[in-house]
Structure 1
Amino acid sequence: MKPVIIKSDEHIQCMKASGALLASVFKALDEYIKVGMTTMELNDFVETYITENLGAIASTKGQYGYPYAINVSVNEVVCHGMPKASQKIKSSDIINIDVTLKHNGYLADSSKMYVMQDASPLAKKLAKETYQAMWEGIKRVKPGAKLGDIGHAIQTYAERRGYSVVREFCGHGIGSEMHEGPDVLHFGKKDTGLVLKPGMTFTIEPMINQGSHKVKTLKDGWTVVTKDKKLSAQWEHTILVTDNGYEVLTLRHDETVTGI
């Protein structure tokens, strides 16, 4: 089990700076992404923006041998989708773009759903409800709360709306390393698990499926899809436990701290 590292004030400031840079990546993506471009074009844009515009490291690239700067997960792809020069964005797609950035030795990790204009009403609803499920978990973060409170809030919100929560993947501690302790499950029971303390930093990143929660990994060894081929959505933020609650370190320009 990986250790949970309480961050010093100095390290928290580094993580805040990385989080702000990562938020700016998504702002740039908002203006760049469009129907007809390839997912590899998105990857190349993000890598160039991070390295040349921001002077930071696109730290997804090379992590565990992964060859690209982003994960781009389209429609039934749950996570870890690989960009392709042959894959063009369609007007009906929903797309999760997951980016990790490192600056001055500290990381920030976030993902966002891009819902194309002709996506079905059910697809749009899934993306919106997944976003709110993430916030239901985030709002449980405070000193003295337990990790199970986060997972329970997400699971309850999603399942009451007829969705399922992917079990095989979870949020994680983050700091100078991509994956630190603790593991942050997106399902669970209230008042169970690790007690949260100020200075902890971790991601909350629920993957919510239209159908069954069951998934499978494709032959490329990375791409995870729903077994029933129904749609999946995911959002992610990097969170700091503060003295009296939480701070979202990767909050984007188009967001508030209370979700929708």
Structure 2
Amino acid sequence: MAAAATRKCIGVDCANDAGTLQCPTCLKMGTDSFFCSQDCFKRSWSEHKAIHKKSNLLTNLFPPKVVSEPDPATGHFNPFPSFQFTGSLRPLYPLSPRRTIPKSIPHPDYSRDGIPHSEQKFVGRHNITILNKEEQEGMRKVCRLAREVLDIAAREAKPGVTTDYIDEVVHKACIERESYPSPLNYVHFPKSVCTSVNETICHGIPDQRPLEDGDIINIDVTLYHKGFHGDLNETYYVGDKARANADAVRVVETSRECLDKSIELVKPGMLFRDPGNVIEKHAKGRNCSVVKTYCGHGINQLFHCAPNVPHYGKNKAVGTAKPGMCFTIEPMINIGTHRDRTWPDDWTSTTADGSLSAQFEHTLLVTEDGVEVLTARLSDSPGGPVPMPSEQTANGN
């Protein structure tokens, strides 16, 4: 699950960057309101709470439009019929009930109320955790398990299979490994995995839509096991038509190559702003664009933390890689514009022009002399690269 780009705190007279702390009331109302700290939130409360009254008044005066009528045969419906979608993909509800996790499996702190309290304690975006040997082993373990779960899910990505079924598969595989699926109820995300199809950049919510021959799908898996998170994703071709689609192959393989090329940079002393330069140069050479809204992120006992690792060139990310640091790189590459648009579910991010998007992600550990890819593919992992189209086709001509 990608981290959002840096936001500004909305606290009164505050110029700091915001963390992940949000007003609980705004969250329930579906409104974004990010603060840099609990103290800033408390100091701003008397003025901020006025927003809630105004929003409630507007909702009463202009109630939201009803969802579309369910299909009599299936009971499925589009929950946002008046939304101007950018591509052909549509959500297909109802979502299945929230899946449960046995109490015997350790839960992250946000599992109950959707708020990652532990992440809010680390307000300073420059505080990058250095893991000791025992903690590094904890990361190795959870990342191996996460790779197993992703591979299990990827084998189910076939025409006719719903993304909700893939969510069920991931959920059960996590429980079998005594792990909690990290996305579940993280800032109220309703499912155990992100499934992003075709024009979806990231954070797609699994629903009742069956996959079609010709789709591409990104499956983004994160596990929480014995106090550590392991995060990875890959984009897969669904059926034979996708592999025959020059644009699909170009965007998928470009994203895969961008990740591989950026990992080659990782070692002690690497600046966190450097991977973006390599990624954008390669993407532009394939006539693709790089999403700027989301970035790679630190990961350890926290799902998302410092550092931020942007994927676009000439970014201003701060910090230098040191042995013992863990973080993700996860370039999101589009065929068309780099701009994105979010569905009314407040999660599904799609390309602004409806063009295809692809993403790949690894969790990385900086070693004394280089990098260890903790979520590396196994010899029998499904998917993998396919030949790029001819040079003329690959450049969109």
- The answer for the alignment partner of 2:229 in structure 1 is 107
- The answer for the alignment partner of 2:133 in structure 1 is 9
Give the conservation status (yes or no) of the 8 Å contact 2:310–2:317. Answer: no
Task: Please show how residues 75-90 of structure 1 align to structure 2 within 5 Å.
Answer: 75-85=198-208, 87-90=209-212
Q: C-alpha distance in 2, partners of 1:95/1:230?
A: 14
Match of 2:189 among 62, 66, 69: 66
Letter in 2 for 1:142: K
Distance 1:162 1:192, change over 3 A: same
Letter in 2 for 1:97: I
* Cα shift readout 1:151-191 (whole Å, capped 9, x = no counterpart): 11111111111111000000000000101100000013499
Letter in 2 for 1:115: Y
- The answer for the alignment partner of 2:151 in structure 1 is 27
Q: Which runs of 5+ in 2 are unaligned?
A: 1-123, 386-397
- The answer for the alignment partner of 1:164 in structure 2 is 289
Give the CA RMSD over aligned residues: 1.8
Match of 1:218 among 343, 351, 364: 343
**Aligned with 1:114: secondary structure?**
strand
TM-score, normalisation: structure 2: 0.62
Q: C-alpha distance in 1, partners of 2:153/2:343?
A: 27
Q: C-alpha distance in 2, partners of 1:105/1:237?
A: 19
TM-score, normalisation: structure 1: 0.94
Higher mean Cα deviation, 188-197 or 166-175?
188-197
Q: Are 2:300 and 1:175 aligned?
A: yes
Give the conservation status (yes or no) of the 8 Å contact 1:26–1:252. Answer: no
Give the conservation status (yes or no) of the 8 Å contact 1:75–1:93. Answer: yes
Q: Which runs of 5+ in 1 are unaligned?
A: none
Give the conservation status (yes or no) of the 8 Å contact 1:92–1:118. Answer: yes
Distance 1:192 1:107, change over 3 A: closer
**Aligned with 1:82: secondary structure?**
coil
The structure with more strand, counted as a fraction of residues? 1
- The answer for the alignment partner of 2:178 in structure 1 is 55
Deviation at 1:148, TM superposition (A): 1.6
The list of structure 1 runs, each at least 4 consecutive aligned residues, that deviate by more than 3 angstroms after superposition, is 189-193
Higher mean Cα deviation, 13-22 or 191-200?
191-200
**Aligned with 1:202: secondary structure?**
strand
**Aligned with 1:55: secondary structure?**
coil
Letter in 2 for 1:91: D
Deviation at 1:27, TM superposition (A): 2.2
Give the conservation status (yes or no) of the 8 Å contact 1:197–1:241. Answer: yes
Give the conservation status (yes or no) of the 8 Å contact 2:342–2:350. Answer: yes
Give the conservation status (yes or no) of the 8 Å contact 2:309–2:317. Answer: no
Letter in 1 for 2:151: K
Give the conservation status (yes or no) of the 8 Å contact 1:217–1:223. Answer: yes
Letter in 2 for 1:215: D
Deviation at 1:192, TM superposition (A): 7.0
Deviation at 1:62, TM superposition (A): 1.1
Identity %: 38
Structure with the larger RCO, 1 or 2 (CA within 8 Å, 6+ apart): 1
Letter in 1 for 2:171: E
- Whichever of the two has the greater Rg, that structure is 2
Q: C-alpha distance in 1, partners of 2:350/2:317?
A: 30
Give the conservation status (yes or no) of the 8 Å contact 1:75–1:94. Answer: yes
Task: Please show how residues 93-172 of structure 1 align to structure 2 within 5 Å.
Answer: 93-116=215-238, 117-119=240-242, 120-172=245-297
* Cα shift readout 1:116-151 (whole Å, capped 9, x = no counterpart): 221112202210111010111111100011112111
* Cα shift readout 1:45-81 (whole Å, capped 9, x = no counterpart): 1001111x21111111011111100110000011111
Give the conservation status (yes or no) of the 8 Å contact 2:323–2:368. Answer: yes
Letter in 2 for 1:59: S
Aligned pair count reads: 256
